[in-house]
């Protein structure tokens, strides 16, 4: 795959230290990764190029998912004879819609509308139309999603940044809730070959103490990943396309390593955990030498950086750790001292 510089042995060793030391942290903890995780968080909060915006005046007119459409809020994405749709609206002004689970940001009283709550404050939106190298490739999409902001909230908490406004919890089934160790109100996905669903099922199982089941899900992902060892990069690489697959699999891997200090597949899980983090570091977009966010589809040159992929990748880099540091970068600069 393109854009995969080799990671030094020193980097891999330090990654191992970060992983091994996680046994001292609480389950489902997310720490800070320096410098890449911190740089991505700085990027997403940047007022001119990031994905953090005042949502005052938020509009809810259309729905993105047809199963959640209502007469008042029909399913309509693109401009048609009847007028603009969600994509058009989100390109010019703040908009929202029900997410994949039917949840609506800003619906604080849970009545299916936002106007009664006058949503205000800052939150994360879908994307700014920026892709490879942070270059603008299209119009922004100022769509504020409940689920994106829920998972990005964990990132904000880990890095001590402002939390998104408009979130509310009325015992909702939220798939991201289990990533932080909480299985409440969520039922596992049925058996499938979708890697994100398998990873979330595995995380759900490790939360409930089902280590064997979680390891089985981990193994299923490995078998689906078309992994191979790249001797030039000195790491495992994969045929996975979506970047956030790497992130979720990495989180599951770290949870397994933290849950048991000894099991037959531990070394295999450890080596893939190291490789997944290394791949994420390689996939991160840069402007010059400054790390930015992550594009969703690493093989599609038109793919854009977005909130969900960035948040999951940042969480993966700091999964089950307090700090993860990269040698040669702050705060681990080597300095020659003359004598």
Residues near 119 by Cβ (< 8 Å), separated by ≥ 6?
55, 56, 58, 105, 106, 108, 165, 166
Neighbours of 24 (CB within 10 A): 11
Domain boundaries, the chain: 9-325
Alpha carbon distance 63, 99 (integer Å): 9
Confidence of residue 333 (pLDDT cuts 50, 70, 90): low
Alpha carbon distance 98, 95 (integer Å): 11
pLDDT higher than threshold 80 for residue 252: yes
Mean of per-residue pLDDT scores for the chain: 89
Per-residue pLDDT at 76: 85
For the chain, the straight-line distance linking the first and the last C-alpha, in angstroms and rounded, comes to 46
Per-residue pLDDT at 115: 64
Q: Which residue has the higher pLDDT, 231 or 115?
A: 231
258-272 per-position pLDDT tens digit? 999 999 999 999 999
User: Are 51 and 44 within 8 A, CB to CB?
Assistant: yes
Predicted structure pTM score? 0.90
């Amino acid at each position: 795959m393109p854009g995969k510089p080799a990671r030094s042995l020193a980097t891999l060793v330090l990654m191992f230290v970060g992983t091994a030391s996680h046994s001292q942290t609480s389950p489902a903890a997310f720490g800070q990764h320096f410098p890449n995780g911190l740089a991505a968080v700085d990027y997403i909060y940047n007022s001119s190029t990031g994905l953090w915006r005042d949502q005052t005046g938020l509009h809810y007119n259309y729905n993105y998912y047809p199963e959640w459409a209502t007469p008042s809020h029909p399913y309509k994405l693109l401009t048609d004879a009847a007028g603009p749709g969600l994509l058009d609206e989100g390109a010019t002004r703040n908009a929202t819609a029900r997410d994949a689970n039917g949840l609506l940001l800003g619906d604080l009283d849970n009545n299916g509308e936002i106007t009664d709550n006058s949503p205000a404050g800052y939150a994360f939106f879908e994307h700014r139309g920026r892709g490879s190298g942070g270059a603008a490739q299209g119009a922004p999409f100022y769509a504020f999603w409940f689920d994106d902001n829920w998972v990005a909230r964990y990132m904000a908490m880990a890095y001590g940044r402002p939390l998104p406004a408009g979130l509310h919890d009325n015992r909702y089934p939220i798939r991201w809730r289990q990533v932080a160790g909480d299985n409440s109100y969520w039922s596992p996905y049925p058996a499938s070959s979708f890697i994100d669903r398998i990873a979330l099922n595995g995380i759900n199982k490790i939360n409930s103490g089902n280590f064997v089941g979680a390891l089985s899900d981990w193994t299923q992902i490995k078998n689906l990943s078309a992994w191979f060892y790249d001797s030039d990069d000195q790491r495992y690489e994969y045929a996975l396309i979506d970047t956030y697959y790497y992130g979720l699999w990495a989180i599951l891997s770290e949870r397994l390593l933290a849950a048991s200090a000894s099991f037959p597949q531990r070394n295999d899980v450890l080596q893939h955990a190291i490789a997944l983090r290394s791949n994420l570091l390689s996939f991160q977009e840069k402007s010059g030498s400054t790390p930015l966010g992550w594009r969703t589809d690493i093989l599609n040159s038109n793919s854009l950086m977005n909130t969900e992929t960035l948040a999951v990748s940042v969480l993966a880099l700091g999964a089950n750790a307090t700090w993860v540091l990269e040698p040669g970068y702050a705060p681990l600069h080597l300095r020659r001292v003359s004598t």
